[in-house]
Each structure stands twice: as structure tokens, then as C-alpha cells.
Amino acid sequence: MASDFSRLGEEIRSIEEAGADWIHIDIMDNHFVPNLTFGPPIVSMIRHVTKLPFDVHLMVERPETLFPALAEAGADRITVHPEACVHLHRTLASIRELGIKAGVALNPHTPLNVLEYMLDEIDLVLIMTINPGFGGQAFLPSMLPKLRQLRELLDKHGRNDIHIQVDGGINAETAALVTDAGANSLVAGTFIFGKQDRAAAISALRAASKVAQ
């Protein structure tokens, strides 16, 4: 979302060359969140640009309607919001049935207890450290205890294989905070795309967070 959409292919190549691990793709419908980006056709068009995994974050109503098209477009992970799903377990299972890893995104107000009976269907939990919809927002420090509680929950259930991802206001300073709280996957839009030297920006995140490359 933070990239220059008029040069999307070049932007993706630049962050791959700079050392990014995944491409995080924000899909918004201007209903679930007050913003609009793009849909599966764009995902399909950019799939040939990179071999990096596509980490698709759906901020849309009725996300299940997009799963088949996203699978065909080359998505590797799809993350949904529980508030957008009538039956979260069924939604997650339908993602995994397509051979795609499934994630759950938790807005700042969303409690962790929505996850407790879903863990067998989850590969990733995304903690939003801003309110979703727009990039460039300030990091919410109040989400750090939530991250720690999530780490404790996953440890309790022996699910260290589930990624703990954070998105919102991530930079070299906040990367250290969220990693210390238990995160191991960082989404950085403005911090990366806003820099001329993107390799240096990614290196700075890794150095600050000590996230394994």
C-alpha cells in the first residue's frame, strides 16, 4: 500500500533486491475499512515480477468470495479479520483447503480470545498496531501487552509454529519493541518505501529487531 502504484513492478523488484522476505499485499474494499486499493487481477499481474511469497491481508467484507481468485493469482498466505467472517473456523478452513496458509488479523479493539478455539486452522496472527485502512499512522504502544499475551497463548498451546506478525508504525525503534514482545514477522510499508536506500532500511529493521532472516 505504501508503494508507488504507477511503478508497482519496479517497486516490488526493488524491495526483493533490498532483501525483503515476503510481499505484504493490502486489499481494501472501502467498506470494511475507509480506503480502496485493488483486487485479485492486480495480484495476478504482479505474480510474474517476483518469486517472493505473497502475504495477502484482506480488509474486506465477505473475504471468502475472493479466495479462489487469489489462489489462482498466486497468493501464498491470506489473512482475514474475524469481524468480516460469519463463521471464522469455516473461513480459515476454506483458505487452507486451497493449499494456502491462513491468518487472522486482530484490530486494536479485537480481543485475543477469538483465537483460542481456532488455533488448529491458523498459520499466522497479525496484530494491528494501528487502526487499519491507511499507512503512515503512529504506532500504538498499548498493543505491546497484547503481543506478549499472544506469545503466552501460543506457548501454552505449543504453537510456536504460528507466525506473530505486526503491522502499523513499524520502524527501527518500534521493531525492537514488538520483537521483544514476541513478534517474528514485521510489516513495514512507509519505513521501507519512504527510503531511497531500501536495503539499508531493511537491514536497520533486522538489526533492531533481531528477526531471523
Q: Which residues are catalytic?
A: 26, 167
Largest pairwise CA distance in the chain: 46
β partners of residue 25: 56
What is the C-alpha to C-alpha distance for residues 127 and 181, in angstroms, rounded to an integer?
12
What is the C-alpha to C-alpha distance for residues 136 and 6, in angstroms, rounded to an integer?
19
What is the C-alpha to C-alpha distance for residues 194 and 192, in angstroms, rounded to an integer?
5
Q: Which three cell numbers stand for residue 37?
A: 486499493
CA–CA distance from 78 to each of 4, 32, 92, 120, 210 (Å)?
Answer: 23, 16, 9, 16, 25
Whose CA is closest to 199, among 46, 54, 16?
16
Report whether 144 contacts 181 (CB < 8 A): yes
Compute φ and ψ for 63, nearest 5 degrees. -60, -30
